[in-house]
Amino acid sequence: MNIDYSISYSFSFALLAGPLGLFLFEIANRFYVYFHRKITGTADEDELLHTFYNIGAPTLFCTIGFYGFHTIYPAVQGLPFSFWLVVFLLIILMDVISSCFLILIMLVTKNIHSKQEAFEFITGRSMIDLLKTALTNGLLFTFISEGQWEAVIAIFLLSYIVGRAGIFHTKLLLQKQESERFKKMAYTDFLTNIYNRTYLNKVMQELDEKEEDIALIIGDIDAFKSINDTFNHVVGDNVIRHFAQILQNSIDSCDYVFRTGGEEFTIILRNKNYEDCQSFLNELRDTILAAPAQTEFRSEAVSIPYTASFGMYYIHNDRLTELKNAYLQADELLLKAKNSGKNRIISMDGRLNNKK
């Protein structure tokens, strides 16, 4: 949908020209916008329907505000800041009525499906925007009433500048969201929704610049081919997802887990001692044994137990050695673990090798 970033002055027009004057203004204004968008090819699919709504809704709500102002303001006119308080309260009232009306329409068209969504829609309204609308409408009404035409022109220039700034800000947000989306696609494994090998390389380069204790762990599901052969690749994919979720849930917020192959994953544990990393792997192995993957095969629920083997290489990263070497060592340890049977862990403290 096209979004109007300019400030709405419908309430001040209603106060100055009455409901009928506002209605005629909205017809001229909205149909000008309609034909401009049609000519420039920027119209929405339901642009004509939106045009009628944008004529009727402001006229209806501002008519309520018009009669509310002429009922309330004379009674409080002598109080300090009474004009601005009345305008601000009426702007809030009209916004609440407008929001409720929109929610009713979205419920009918099934664009809102719960009370929670409706509540979030209403509470998501910006109080700053309402204050801005109240202030500018009050100023426009005052300036026109007193014949301050230079100030009126300044108000409309302000509206244009705010509108352009809003468009520019929105474009920046969209560009940022698009950039984040592509970055996530580049660094995220499509099957498990965790980090991939590309991001592992990036993280290792970043950690090479730091000095800390690091455990580089490579894990692999044992006899994974037999799972695919016994069931099918869909079931195998579900087992991989299950394994990835266990790994992700087991690490701390400062640690990393990556999918670096078909059923192979890499874990980086940071700032933990060697014994804690060994305990982590033992607990992880027990968790995998105690939680078989729950999936479906031939329309029936199946529970698939599996095991995994791990190779861990522990180092004190002192910026002199690249983590890539530690990764190769962990890969060798995993290979030894796989060759020695299932459900095995082989670890090595690289600091001892460095001392020798």
Give the length of the chain. 356
Q: What are the phi and psi torsion angles at 258 (to 5°)?
A: -135, 150
The answer to whether 216 and 268 have CB atoms below 8 angstroms apart is yes
Q: Give DSSP secondary structure letters for 272-316.
A: --HHHHHHHHHHHHHHHHHSPEEEEETTEEEEE---EEEEEEEEE
User: Alpha carbon 289 to chain centroid distance?
Assistant: 35
Per-residue pLDDT tens listing for the chain (356 residues): 444 556 788 999 999 999 999 999 999 989 998 998 899 888 888 888 889 988 998 899 999 999 999 999 999 988 999 999 999 999 999 988 888 888 888 788 777 777 777 777 777 777 888 888 888 899 999 999 999 999 989 888 887 787 777 777 777 887 887 777 777 788 999 899 999 999 999 999 999 988 899 999 999 999 999 999 999 999 999 999 999 999 999 999 999 999 999 999 999 999 999 999 999 999 999 999 999 999 999 889 999 999 999 999 999 888 667 789 999 999 999 999 999 988 999 999 987 765 43
The C-alpha atoms of residue 193 and residue 175 are separated, in whole angstroms, by: 23
pTM as predicted: 0.56
Element (H, E) at 242: helix 233-250
First to last CA, the chain: 68
The answer to whether 174 and 166 have CB atoms below 8 angstroms apart is no
Q: Which of 252, 268, 271 is nearest to 213 (CA)?
A: 271
